[in-house]
Structure 1
Amino acid sequence: MIKFLHTSTKAILLAATLLTFSQCKKEESLMPLTTAHPKLETLALAEYPIPALPASVPLKNMFGINAFEWDFLENPHDQNNRSVIYEAKMSLIKTFSGVRHYMDWEKLENAEGSFTFNPTNAGGWNYDIIYSRCKQEGMPVVADLKTVPNWLLETYPADQRDNENVPAPYGAYLPDPASYYKQALVAFQFAARYGSNTAVDPWQVKVNTTPRWTNDPVNEKKIGLGLVKYIECDNERDKWWKGPATKQTAEEYAANMSAFYDGHKGTMGANAGVKTADPNMLVVMGGIATCDTMYVQRMINWCKTNRGYRADGSVNLCFDVINYHYYSSEGRVNPFVQGYKGIAPELSMAGEVADAFVRLGKAYGLPVWVTEAGYDVNQGSWQKVPPVGSKSVLLTQADWVLRTSLLYARHGIQSLYHYLLFDANDGDPTQYATSGLNDPTKRRPAADYILQTKNLMGDYSFVKNISKNPMVDQYTNGIKTMYVLVVPDQKDRKATYKLDLGKGSYTASIYKPKPGANTMTKTTGLAIGGKLTVTVTETPMFIQSNQ
């Protein structure tokens, strides 16, 4: 049912084809912005450290994946056992460099004030096990706390209940951070448990230790496990396709994030907000669907007015990472033009949109992430990837997914998470239902290509673009250099290119992705006068001088 709901949500969204970007119950008491939550004293909180932007970003940062808890724990041969990692699925998850975990609030707090993590009272999932394994595998987790729990949803009239409603009680004044107090509480509990701060006051940490039935494992209070570095505040809060109850303005979402971030600068008490529990956990704004840089700028403007400035003169922002979603399609944004199929990333607005967000991020010293991108393989979808030339749909998907990673590295995005680990609903022509990079029991070519590229040059960083047609990029890792070449088209075009490897280069290693394999094919090319002539195709190739 959870899977079905998520699939339906993505289906209703006409995402990349409906994007716009700029130049580019119980009644809750309502309070003005400057008022603290009732019965709670304002805390004097230190300014949180702002991490400096890295000088370079490794290519492996472009190989994240979106996934659910059942992808780790649901064993079809032992469906009632959710306390052990299902290794067959884990072997596929390890293809990627990081995981964005779609995490429903209901799982953590299925009854108000009753927090469970391992196992969760809703579903019986064991988050400690998932996060521990991800850390063991060197895969950072972005925990995306999304949707609203049933107990909060019940404050809404029956005909206005949607689990993607704004995370505040019905009737709350949405421009006020205090309206999001309940979400700030669960954010604190999550950060206290999975963050790196071992000095959280134990009295503020709550877990429900009551077993659900005889011999049921009970939750234990744990602090500062150091398993999760990133937490995301909801998902696509600018959604317009479900009606007013599910959409927030930029100012409303900024107020929401201010509560989530640090309990609106500590005014909500010692148990509200991520930073209150762990100043080192980084808060990612929920990926926005509209690709509107002005939406983010308005959030920043709200922070200037309602959060002020830090001692160094920078804006006291309520997020550490800018985040948006973009699905490359033939549709256009600003002005909107409907699209009916996916297109190669270089032919879409992906680069233009990325440039707009990266410019904004640099202005405020913020990294920019893209946490959803992908293509459907079902040919009835509006986000379908077509066969190109003699290549099958799956091979074209592989080309375009890898090229999406290369594009975002080229344009300065610092992390990319592909949608999705597995098909949300296999065989369904609904948009986003068949975006999986894996089949249920094996990698698709898209995952093959990611694994091979990660293993070959995951630690290399983009340096510069040398040619645009064909596309030739230079990457380095210390003193080592790698060149990536691809024809940025979707008509099975080929191009001859003479790559200058420098004087003294006589041979070069040429790597090409291979479907169904763990490593690329490798051949040796002869350089004449330091120059190597190659035929470039729409599948990326990788060249390294043997000098």
Structure 2
Amino acid sequence: MHITIPLFRKGLVAITVIILFLVSWYYTVRNAHAPLLDGTEDAGPTFSVPAGTRLTGHIPYDTNWAYQPDASDNNFIAWFDGVPTPDAPDTPTSYNTKNQIDPAVTYLTFPKKLDVRLTKIRFYDGAGSSKVPLRVSLLLTDGSEVTDVAQFFGQAYDQWIDVYTVPTTQQRVKAVILRTSLNSNMVAAGAYPTEIEFTGTYTSYVTPKANLTHRVPLRNMLGSNTFPWNNSGGKPEGSPEIPTMLAKYNYMAWNRAYDDWPLFEQKEGDYRYAPTYTGGWNQDLGFARLKAKGVQTIQCLKDIPKWLIDRLPTSVGEDGHLDAARSDRRVESAHHKYRGNLVEYVSRVAFPTSGNSATLSYLRADGARTPLFPYTADEPTYFIDKETQLVYRWTGTTYTLLTRNVPGVYFSVYTAADAVPEHPTGQLRTKFNETLTADRQKPSTYVEFARLAFQSAARYGTNKQLDPHLLHTPDKQMGLNLLAGIEAGNELNAGWNGRRRYTSPFEMAALLSAFYDGHHNTLGPGVGVKNADPNMPVFMGGIVSVNPRVIRAMIDWCAQNRGYRPDGSVDICWDVIKFHQYTNSHGLEQHQSGTRYGMPADMVPLAPRRIKRMKDVSYEYLGRSLPVHIGELGYDIGPTGQQAALITDIFGRVQHTRRQSQADWAVRDMLCYNRAGADGLQFYLLQDPAPVANPDASSNLYMSSGFFQRGDQQPADMPRLAGWYTQQFIEKFGDYAVTSILSEDPLVYKLTHGKHTAYALVIPDMVGRTGSYTLRLPGVSNATLCTLQPTGTRLHEQHLRIVDTLRVCVSETPCFITVP
């Protein structure tokens, strides 16, 4: 964001008008964002009687109990706010995100301790109706589901209706489930009510909250995302480049290593780590050097190898090459085998002479021909006419229209039962059907990914007693003890790549169950992290949209499919919660339409609250708070939708470059999230991910977020201001933790380390504002002012003589006070 103020230079009147305008603008900007301590998540119900009291009547509903296993965020509070007139919006989808899964499903769950006996469901029917029903089902506490107990079409108007009177045999309810089909635009087709009411008997319930009295040292707030070429594994011992490469990790606690699956398993069942299949990186060396520096590496296993990519649907262009724009063959796809050979050609007449799978091929960029389905040549192929989207099968002698769906494959066509004029029989309906949805909720679907997890955990964990026959590497190395954890994928719930990649919470839980322990060791030998090393922490793959409801849904899947531990808690299949949080003018959304710019976390109240909410969810449903990491956060120095602010004064003079704002905000985020209770941060990114001629002018999102210059940028491999600031901050205060906030504006944090006390002061804004604050320090006669410097790894320290108080000048760049 470029914040600038115009100046009219002629006349006192004009100047006066400008001053008034600036004052008005200043306070508008200043007050446009709620303070750090403002508000809470959706408020739960309150009871006027002691917890555990049995009550009858209207059942108060906490909308934090509800979730929808789709790409959308939710607006459930509109259904239970006591306002039956339409809210904006009054549906479960509050962002402009299309659904990914048909049908759209909403789970309105009840906590076990609420002990609900549901007797009646009522909807308020506002304006609008639909020919497509909203179907109501009940999930009972014994795990069974009573489907379609009622249907809602919205055909009444502006009145309450009794949707369902629940018979005695169905009253012990775990959840009310709402389902509706999607239209051709993947938007819910059914009508939703504007208010929902449940009646019955229940036990008064106080939602337990996590206790955040303990906070990790601030050094845990400095970590980075890296690629294999960052970790020195490609350099042999004695290489002169190694010291420069490792210096970038000074003072870092965490290294989140982007390790693509194809690096290690280019051929199914054969694994290579030192060196890797591609790139020639020796991960053993790279991880060992970082561990020697005290850096904890989390190996993020992500993307898919070619032997999975080449199973996905594809499209052949007029020139015989693959049409990349229409092909689904991408490394960022769900971590399992696609079922069904499916290929699109530009027209029916362009179909090959023979449709035999073994003879099909396409032209590579170098002009060579390569098999179209090299790993499934023994399976039949189905052909799409690009012009009509009609699907054909090869009979052995000719192509015939596919009029019935093929059992077991992941695509569907319109049949006589559902065809309409605009969608005739035989036209492709979806490449990702209900069979795929069902399979993605089975841990066995992800067995290949879970085998990779076993190999990594065996090699880099602590267990030296494994059967060597389970290790499918040439050197059979095990127990190297080089990793702090293994992460199961990256942004699997990202909606912007469609259903090819989007993985619902239930599906992520199924994947994790395989990845964690081979779904209770039922998937065969050599599967799952814990079967290689029970001590290796498993990080859930960092999710986007920062939605605590995702965790809720995953816990429910585990309760249903993994059961409970001996202590009575749900047997979940992850040890650390992880999400990505790019704070910006749209809140926490990573991909959003419309104008967007970066904002520091202390200006986005929801950002620190989501840490607390994630811990509350695990505490409420598991009886313990799991560690929470933010796996990606950061700001571009170029003019992008995640840009740090370029701030100029009324004369057009630069007060803060984007590099300055990026550096300020990095330190501010570390303070903010430590106070919120985060257990680890990994900033995006150590270095920009690809060559950019001028990163300060790059408009490519997330391409100029690096804390260090690239080797092809000048000055090569040197820290940017964010790199210097974060090192200086951790060098001085890495052992401290934020224990309290003394003021909201200026924002004043109290930091402690044993008997040592310090203070961090900053203006929580992004317009170049300054101010002052008087620290009250009874009995203190000496203090030190510590300020961030443009280079070096040490803060500048100025020793001060004081008497009980110290007045500090404060800006949007944090400064620090230490006292004896």
- Which range moved further: 516-525 or 356-365? 356-365
Please point out which of 591, 599, 611 is paired with 1:354: 611
- Aligned partner of 2:338 in structure 1 is 170
Which structure is larger by alpha-carbon Rg, 1 or 2?
A: 2
- Aligned partner of 1:445 in structure 2 is 721
| 1:292, distance to aligned residue in structure 2 (A) | 1.2
User: Aligned AA for 2:657?
Assistant: S
- Which range moved further: 81-90 or 491-500? 81-90
Shift in alpha-carbon separation, 1:82–1:245, aligned structure 2, 3 A: farther
Please point out which of 431, 441, 456 is paired with 1:190: 456
Q: How many residues align?
A: 484
Shift in alpha-carbon separation, 1:22–1:120, aligned structure 2, 3 A: farther
> What CA distance in whole angstroms lies between the structure 1 residues aligned with 2:532 and 2:212?
23
- Aligned partner of 1:536 in structure 2 is 810
Matches within 5 A, 1:256-267: 256-267=511-522
Q: Contact conserved, 1:82 with 1:124, CA < 8 A, in 2?
A: no
User: Aligned AA for 2:807?
Assistant: T
- Aligned partner of 1:343 in structure 2 is 599
| 1:272, distance to aligned residue in structure 2 (A) | 0.4
Sequence identity of aligned pairs in percent?
A: 34
- Aligned partner of 1:414 in structure 2 is 679
Matches within 5 A, 1:87-98: 87-98=243-254
- Which range moved further: 391-400 or 253-262? 391-400
> What CA distance in whole angstroms lies between the structure 2 residues aligned with 1:407 and 1:151?
44
> What CA distance in whole angstroms lies between the structure 2 residues aligned with 1:448 and 1:369?
23
User: Aligned AA for 1:391?
Assistant: H
Matches within 5 A, 1:49-60: 55-60=214-219
Q: Contact conserved, 1:149 with 1:163, CA < 8 A, in 2?
A: yes
Shift in alpha-carbon separation, 1:412–1:371, aligned structure 2, 3 A: same
Q: Whose helix proportion is higher, 1 or 2?
A: 1
| 1:366, distance to aligned residue in structure 2 (A) | 0.8
- Aligned partner of 1:435 in structure 2 is 705
Shift in alpha-carbon separation, 1:206–1:74, aligned structure 2, 3 A: closer
- Which range moved further: 466-475 or 143-152? 466-475
Please point out which of 752, 765, 777 is paired with 1:476: 752
User: Helix, strand or coil: the match of 1:156?
Assistant: coil
Matches within 5 A, 1:76-475: 86-158=242-314, 159-171=327-339, 173-207=439-473, 209=474, 220-332=475-587, 338-348=594-604, 349-363=606-620, 364=622, 365-379=625-639, 381-389=640-648, 390-425=655-690, 426=692, 427=695, 428-440=698-710, 441-475=717-751
> What CA distance in whole angstroms lies between the structure 2 residues aligned with 1:287 and 1:96?
20
Q: Contact conserved, 1:204 with 1:271, CA < 8 A, in 2?
A: yes
- Which range moved further: 386-395 or 509-518? 386-395
Shift in alpha-carbon separation, 1:366–1:523, aligned structure 2, 3 A: same
User: Helix, strand or coil: the match of 2:759?
Assistant: strand
Which whole-Å deviations, capped at 9, do the CAs of 1:458-511 have from their partners, x for residues lacking one? 01122111111111111211111111111111122122111122x321010111
- Aligned partner of 1:507 in structure 2 is 782
Q: Contact conserved, 2:233 with 2:287, CA < 8 A, in 1?
A: no
Which whole-Å deviations, capped at 9, do the CAs of 1:280-333 have from their partners, x for residues lacking one? 111011111121111111001100110111101111101111111111111136
| 1:21, distance to aligned residue in structure 2 (A) | 6.4
Which TM-score applies when normalising by structure 2? 0.57
- Which range moved further: 170-179 or 255-264? 170-179
- Which range moved further: 262-271 or 128-137? 262-271
User: Helix, strand or coil: the match of 2:300?
Assistant: strand
Which whole-Å deviations, capped at 9, do the CAs of 1:259-296 have from their partners, x for residues lacking one? 00000011112310000111111101111112111111
User: Aligned AA for 1:310?
Assistant: R
User: Helix, strand or coil: the match of 1:131?
Assistant: helix
- Aligned partner of 1:36 in structure 2 is none
Q: Contact conserved, 1:507 with 1:525, CA < 8 A, in 2?
A: yes
| 1:74, distance to aligned residue in structure 2 (A) | 8.1
Q: Contact conserved, 1:82 with 1:126, CA < 8 A, in 2?
A: no
| 1:54, distance to aligned residue in structure 2 (A) | 9.6
> What CA distance in whole angstroms lies between the structure 1 residues aligned with 2:728 and 2:76?
37
User: Helix, strand or coil: the match of 1:199?
Assistant: coil
> What CA distance in whole angstroms lies between the structure 2 residues aligned with 1:247 and 1:514?
43
- Which range moved further: 491-500 or 353-362? 353-362
Which TM-score applies when normalising by structure 1? 0.84
User: Aligned AA for 2:805?
Assistant: K
Q: Contact conserved, 1:144 with 1:234, CA < 8 A, in 2?
A: yes
| 1:103, distance to aligned residue in structure 2 (A) | 0.3
- Which range moved further: 82-91 or 401-410? 82-91
